[in-house]
Structure 1
């Protein structure tokens, strides 16, 4: 097989793997939206809902920071290098040491956090502590139940990173489905058994962590890499991972830190602000998780191997391909979220306890998040270009600049725009972050523009304008959506989505984009 044919096969494999991860993640995100529909129906944007979202966001934030963020980005390149240059016994030893060291550290952190739950709650939601004692105590109580999820899900992410390194992408991508199923079941079946009922959601998080970890172990066993946890702090492989991980703790998760800062400041705003930001963020997270994180997950092992093989041309072409995929999917997703903000929120969440005002307030922050969606997705892909080369320092420096900018934007915008200003500040800092990451890759010569970028951007621009015009033309006013029945809302939304996707795809084809363009950088 010739070299161009090999590269075409690899490109097709990346697209196929991205599609697999995307489909599995789509299933998870759809169930996640179903979960949020159930939570909104049972608890709305009440004080108890605010308390749960804070209690869940703290371990969830740390999960993204440690597990999906810094740990995976540090662990996968080292594991890929071991896989490429050493035998299975050496890989097994590394897996054993990492499992034992990571597990021991996380157990210690979990014990401390459970004991210090009120202190953590006051730190992450100071507005509760200063202004609403009942909400603060409820959030602290639930945090004691939800925090062990960090230990369980981090070990799950460790198992998933091993599977991803061996191109077993489907299982880790499917695993989050189990969290959503657990929370849906807890809200429906367990909430009547608790006082207050919202405690059922906290126990649902704990149950999900156990189930997700157990689910992945048989697949590790098939690879003959089921870990035998061993303390290995001084092992050279573990030391390298720790050295890469410590700066990556900040660099890869700036977006999550920014979102957490939104929650801290929102706790000082009127009741419902935390929930409005949560529901709008959840909708923005759908395309980010399905496509942005899926593409970044798939290219990380590939980029790590290309770097180990010193294949700079193929490294650059993979990054070009990933960015084109982000723009091809991320821009229309952002346009759709912006235009369809109220109809989407009404269709998904406007039942039970969620009011008309809640929909209107969440729609405003959703539009702000939508403006930054492409930047959120590009950060995931561009940061991978650094971590695959075991460069964690540069994203850290960029992340610090973006975080400082985010706080400045927050303070400037929260006064006049309340919770919407917080969402807008996050979007603005994301563009700064993505821009600096891109500039760094270009300046270092790692990323060289592929031919045809300007033509592709023009094609996408025309297609997105056509899609937006189509949706606006067909869309009913928000007041009419509020009066529709459930099935009317679903039918109208389906029509709008199908029409928008059809017009977007048709214009892309008419503009000259063909399936082969999706395979080559």
Structure 2
């Protein structure tokens, strides 16, 4: 493993982010094909809603044992050991953490499969007898999807190791394999089940196997493959798990809020789960392309600055991350809000996915888009704390955020549900978005109050450029929408033609406005 630490210093954060974003873009294209196929074959019926619940629960736990809490605790410790140049200590740390992680996720997976009926009933809000079939179907799917947790946790460990050693491309590409696995499950297995949607659950497990088989051997090329050793008393293991505990809420607050929304959606029509799922999938495009990419790249960089006691470099890295996120996050939010229904119609309005489903998903997407910049900001702000191995401060913000989210959902949904408003599910999306804004604001406040982040000069000019670009972009997109009229009545080819035209025109208007106001590529480098 000695070769890895001695390798030349990797590319800058902008280039690394670009590589990660490019790989993620391929993943999102594959994800669109997956969602399009799912919407066409299965629509947004109760069986799809059962899959949404069965998928979100292990996916939330994935945020704890994989990319979220675990990586947030693991990467700073690994980066610190790597900076010291002790290869034997790094290998010993990897061996014992890998063994402990595998043991824990196997136990959690077994418990999840055993308790599946009770978990299903809990997340369907103690469903009454009229929902017995839905609960049973959800429990069956949970037993199938829970092993995905163990598979993706070990895959995430491999990805975190590679990212720490500045190999970002392959970890960013592996989500493509996830989408390929689910697509293969739908195409190859659906015909063999009485409930064809069961193929979705089996596709998730197959995807987990495929990702692990690709990413785990990749570590060996850099001399980094862990040997599984189990010792919960190992100093490195205890250190990682101690750091993990407070991050369970903070690193996965968006997922916690989605789960809360999932429970409240069970009170509404059966399709509400599916409508929220499809809107969530669309918001993941900018989050994955930019928010997750920047957060993944910046964490090892911040950890190195902290290990080197470089306070100025640490603060400048945060400043770069926040500016970059706002530069891409704000136009992404405005664009999704303005093109919510055209986007949904173009992507999903096929087969069993009805015009009514299109409208309902559009409502939820418009509401959720409010929180996109905040979700992306959190991807930069959280690593700023984790790099210092401070996991308690973000936990305080997360607890407040979840409480606010529950209160907002109850406040928004209860009256809408009482008066049988069809779009009551949009209240859940709006509450989740507002809670995300509050979470980002609290994190920023704590970071500034602690003195770890000092904004660089020029923030006022930076924000004015962005606002001006957004105004011009919105005017152009609205003009295209007014010219087209209703997207729902257009043939498929014209839907896509006008959607791409609106996106291209809006993006060009935004970019040209920024350039006219003096923004140059050098301003994006770090």
| Fold match (TM-score > 0.5) | yes
Matches within 5 A, 1:72-471: 72-126=71-125, 128=127, 131-417=130-416, 418-471=424-477
Normalising to structure 1: TM-score of the pair? 0.96
Which structure shows the bigger proportion of residues in helix conformation? 1
| 1:504 and 2:503 aligned | no
| 1:472 and 2:478 aligned | yes
What's the secondary structure of 1:126's corresponding residue?
Answer: coil
Contact 1:262 1:422 in 2 (8 A): yes
| 1:487 and 2:493 aligned | yes
| Equivalent-residue separation in structure 2 for 1:180 and 1:416 (angstroms) | 38
| Equivalent-residue separation in structure 2 for 1:107 and 1:11 (angstroms) | 35
| Equivalent-residue separation in structure 1 for 2:331 and 2:246 (angstroms) | 33
Contact 1:343 1:478 in 2 (8 A): no
| Equivalent-residue separation in structure 1 for 2:197 and 2:20 (angstroms) | 32
| Equivalent-residue separation in structure 2 for 1:165 and 1:207 (angstroms) | 27
CA deviation vs aligned residue, 1:385-438 (integer Å, no higher than 9, x gap): 000100000000111011111111111001234211111111111111111100
Gaps of 5+ in 1: 1-8
How many residues matched? 512
The answer for the alignment partner of 2:421 in structure 1 is none
Contact 1:127 1:267 in 2 (8 A): no
Q: 1:338 to 1:41 in 2, by over 3 A?
A: same
Q: 1:165 to 1:201 in 2, by over 3 A?
A: same
| Equivalent-residue separation in structure 1 for 2:59 and 2:380 (angstroms) | 21
Matches within 5 A, 1:27-42: 27-42=26-41
Gaps of 5+ in 2: 1-7, 417-423
Instruction: Give the drift of 1:145.
Output: 0.5
What's the secondary structure of 2:68's corresponding residue?
Answer: helix
Contact 1:129 1:136 in 2 (8 A): no
Q: 1:230 to 1:192 in 2, by over 3 A?
A: same
What's the secondary structure of 2:488's corresponding residue?
Answer: helix
What's the secondary structure of 1:73's corresponding residue?
Answer: helix
Contact 1:81 1:305 in 2 (8 A): yes
CA deviation vs aligned residue, 1:353-405 (integer Å, no higher than 9, x gap): 11111111111111111011101111111011000100000000111011111
Normalising to structure 2: TM-score of the pair? 0.95
Q: 1:435 to 1:216 in 2, by over 3 A?
A: same
- Aligned-residue Cα RMSD (Å) equals 1.5
What's the secondary structure of 1:482's corresponding residue?
Answer: coil
| Equivalent-residue separation in structure 1 for 2:273 and 2:372 (angstroms) | 20
Contact 1:35 1:183 in 2 (8 A): yes
Contact 2:73 2:240 in 1 (8 A): yes
| Equivalent-residue separation in structure 2 for 1:128 and 1:224 (angstroms) | 51
